Amino acid sequence: MLRKEQDAYGKPMYDYFIDKSGIEVLEREDGFIDVSSPRTYFTEYKEWQPHVRAAMKYVRGRVLDIGCGAGRHSIYLQGKGFDVLGIDNSPSAVKTARLRGLRMAKVLPINQLGSKLGIFDTILMLGNNFGLFGSQRGAKQLLARFHRMTSEDARIIAESMDIYKGAMPEHRSYHQLNKRRGRMPGQARIRARYRSLIGPWFDYLLVSKTEMKRVLKGSGWRVAKLMDSGGASYIAIIEKERSQ
């Protein structure tokens, strides 16, 4: 859980909700800076990309939305009658989601998930939140945990981005740096900044479709369907492997 002075991810989201003043700033370890508006976190279903809307058809049962942010996916599914729990490690993001009407929202980092939350039928990792696994090793550990806290026919609906599609030179050089260090090319070490707030450094993993399948190998999960955006982003419908 982020401390108040570290919540550079959720505070601009909250400020945008209150008065449209928030700006999202992400800093990569090599000095690359990305600046964007938090507006994306507040988009309605009709504004979502077609592959995201299509992915909603694969949601079933009790839902865990990991990295729920301002709750755009959770609130939509709640309105459709689903039992949804949204979690985020940002207190300001969870506060924003609750103010927007998400009934079940909890401040909880992904690495603290456990069976105390109960059994889920669908795990959402949209908005490129497959990246929250952080690394191949982190993914293996968390996927094993997900296996224990989900039903027999559970699904993970995860979004990621193929870093090899249209990458800018400054991204390609970072991918090469990662390879030299023995890291996955899309394993970015980043932190959020906002006004006087500075978040902690963390790893965020972006993978191609082939790399995602490699990460899942031996985890008890497999890619059942891939949904393209027409660009670099895509969504995978991930299901449990059947016992032989």
Please report which helix (H) or strand (E) contains residue 221, including its range. strand 221-228
31 in a structural domain: no
Low-confidence ranges of the chain (pLDDT < 70): 243-244
pTM: 0.96
* Number of domains composing the chain: 1
Tokens of 131: 């990246």
22 lies in some domain: no
In a domain, 52, yes or no: yes
Cβ atoms < 10 Å from Cβ of 67: 23
- The two structure tokens encoding residue 184: 């996955």
Residue 124 lies in a domain: yes
Q: Does residue 6 lie in a domain region?
A: no
199 in a structural domain:
no
C-alpha pair distances (Å), 188 with each of 13, 171, 177, 191, 198: 22, 10, 10, 10, 17
Query: What is the model's pLDDT at position 244?
Result: 47
d(CA 126, CA 213): 17
Closest to 51 in 3D by CA, of 234, 238, 232: 234
DSSP string across 164-192:
TSS--HHHHHHHHHHHHTTS-TTEEEEEE
The answer for residues whose C-beta is within 8 angstroms of residue 207's C-beta and 6 or more apart is 130, 160, 162, 163, 184, 186, 215
Structural tokens at position 63: 């839902």
Q: The domain spanning residue 180 has which CATH number?
A: 3.40.50.150
Report if residue 79 sits inside a domain. yes
Q: What is the pLDDT of residue 243?
A: 67
Establish if 194 belongs to a structural domain: no
Range of 80's domain?
Answer: 47-189+205-240
